[in-house]
Amino acid sequence: MVNTAEGEISREIFVNDELFEQEKERIFTRAWLYVGHESQIKKPGDFFVSKMGAESVILTRDFAGKIHVFLNSCAHRGMRVCRYDEGNTRAFRCPYHAWTYKTDGTLIGVQDYDNAYQPPFDKSEWGLVEVAQLANYMGTIWATWDKNAPSFEEYLGEATIAFDQGLCAWDGGDGGTELLGSVQKWIVPCNWKFVAENFAGDWLHGVSHRSVDMIRLGPSGEVGRRDDFGRLVVTAYPDGHGILYSVYPNKKTRTEYAMSPETSEYFQYCWERRLKNLGETAGTCPLVGTIFPNMSFHAQQPRTLLVSHPTGANETEMWRTYFVDKEAPEDVKQFLREYYMRYSGPAGMTEQDDMENWNYASAASRGTIARRRPYHYKAGLGVGGPHDDLPGVVTEQPITTEQNPRFFYKRWADYMDMDSWGELLDARTVSSQG
């Protein structure tokens, strides 16, 4: 079904319910998945209800300060233990029969325990199900259900360089970022992989955004939807991650944001500091990327993070969070909030362009005749290779390429085919051909 050598991929993997069930087992119980951000659970007892694949999980901080991720399903008879989106609690009390769990997951309260259970059962064996591994990477919280998965750092592999830049402050320093508000959530009738491959580096679809360019959606007030793109470079990794970079050789100044002089000034200040902080690499800026399987990020402006949670072969829950530099002035944060909202999310016009494509492509691919034909991913076949400045397999403008989706689907097929992490790690040794 996935022929990356020829650049042809069966439509079945986007529409077939049986394959979707297999994906849940083979990908979403094994891969590292993004769960939330540390700043969402600052205090003991704070919780944020998230998802891993199609399943609800609770991200929480216990009263010793430790971070946990639990399956949001009661050990008694499966009720959703926490039905709120986020908040603070001393304990999680199940609404069904009132079993009560501490924020570290241990079962502490069972109704009529002394009378009803003869002999008494061991409560320590009936706590909430906890993930096998958890990682806090620069404030982002990741988890996997698989104890044999490699460390998160190894999983991220060579995509680290781009992801680090997406998470550090705009000046390349460690001032840190914070969330604007909480999470925007909405549903798109499409397969989750349309979303993941798009942000892995599908630069050919820029034509879809022509209208937002024409109405000057971007912060500069000029034609275009964002600061200038520079020269586009894509890098793909055998782990399935894909990053699209903007390269600005010798750039000294940032674009003026006519609608907000404070923002222009702030980004100019950041850019000058970035040149100092990052030296020669300052001009190589990650723009968007996907960390396999379903976490995508925009690393510049807008700076956001999107998880495409699969809920069915033809339905995806989109969860998007928005980031700004902690140290940015309030005026700048407010200006960016408005720009982000008109760019991304359910009301964002650029996001709407993309969603229209995924929605209609999904619907038009489900028919009996439609399924007979594979999708076409042949752009830039065999062109990509090693690069002096960037890791992974690299293709640069002016050559257009679909190498990043090809790497993404190659990895998808690895997970679907291979039973052990040993095999999955060995399979990363691939040819340098894009």
Size of the site for ligand FES (CB under 6 A): 10
Strands of the sheet containing 107-109, edge to edge, are 91-93, 100-102, 107-109
In this complex, which beta carbon is closest to ligand FES, that of residue 99 or of residue 155? Answer: 99
- 354's contact among ligand FES, Fe ion, none, with CB below 5 to 8 A by partner kind, is Fe ion
Q: Which stretch binds ligand FES (CB under 6 A): 76-84, 137-145, 193-201, 242-250?
A: 76-84
Tokens of 133: 């591994």
Query: Which CB sits closer to ligand FES, 71 or 291?
Result: 71
Tokens 């990356």 -> residue: 4
- Residue 24, contacted partner among Fe ion, ligand FES, none, CB below 5-8 A by kind: none
Question: Distance (Å, rounded) from C-alpha 427 to C-alpha 42?
Answer: 39
Backbone angles phi, psi at 73, to 5 degrees: -150, 125
Supply the minimum distance, in Å, between the C-beta of residue 209 and Fe ion. Answer: 6
Contact by Cβ (8 Å): 359, 190 = yes
Which of Fe ion, ligand FES, none does 116 bind, CB closer than 5 to 8 A by kind? none
**CB of 164 within 8 A of CB of 297?**
no
In the complex, least distance from residue 156 CB atom to Fe ion, rounded to whole angstroms: 24
In the list 8, 12, 24, 76, the residue contacting ligand FES (rule: CB under 6 A) is 76
Closest to ligand FES by CB, 111 vs 431, is: 111
Query: Which residue, 78 or 385, is less far from ligand FES as judged by CB?
Result: 78
- Among 79, 132, 180, 427, which residue sits at the site for ligand FES (rule: CB under 6 A)? 79
Distance CA(39)–CA(66), nearest Å, equals 14
Q: 């959703």: which residue's tokens?
A: 80
35 binds ligand FES (CB under 6 A): no
CA angle 97, 87, 45 (to 5 degrees): 80
Q: Which of 27, 33, 94, 318: binder of ligand FES (CB under 6 A)?
A: 94
Q: How far is the CB of 120 from ligand FES (least distance, A)?
A: 17
**Based on CB atoms, which residue is closest to Fe ion, 30 or 225?**
225
Using omega within 30 degrees of 0 as the cis cutoff, is the peptide bond preceding 238 cis? no
Verify binding: residue 83, ligand FES, rule CB under 6 A. Answer: no
Of the candidate residues 66, 83, 97, 326, the single one contacting ligand FES (CB under 6 A) = 97
**From candidates 171, 354, 402, 414, binder to Fe ion by CB under 5 A:** 354
Q: How far is the CB of 112 from ligand FES (least distance, A)?
A: 12
Count other Cβ atoms within 10 Å, centred on residue 275.
16
Dist. CA 69–CA 416, nearest whole Å:
25
Q: In whole angstroms, how far apart are CA 125 and each of 18, 113, 319, 324?
A: 34, 15, 33, 42
Supply the minimum distance, in Å, between the C-beta of residue 400 and Fe ion. 15
Nearer CB in complex with Fe ion: 46/354 = 354
**Is residue 205 within 8 Å of residue 197, measured between CB atoms?**
no
Q: 76, 31, 40, 35: which is closest to 56 by C-alpha? A: 35
Applying CB under 5 A, the span of 48-56, 71-79, 179-187, 346-354 interacting with Fe ion comes to: 346-354
Q: Are 169 and 271 in contact (CB under 8 A)?
A: no
**Measured at CB, which residue is nearest to Fe ion?**
354
- Residues paired with residue 304 on neighbouring β-strands, in sequence order: 298, 322
By C-alpha distance, which of 253, 258, 256, 290 is closest to 272? 253
Interface positions with Fe ion (CB under 5 A): 354
Interface positions with ligand FES (CB under 6 A): 74, 76-79, 94, 96-99
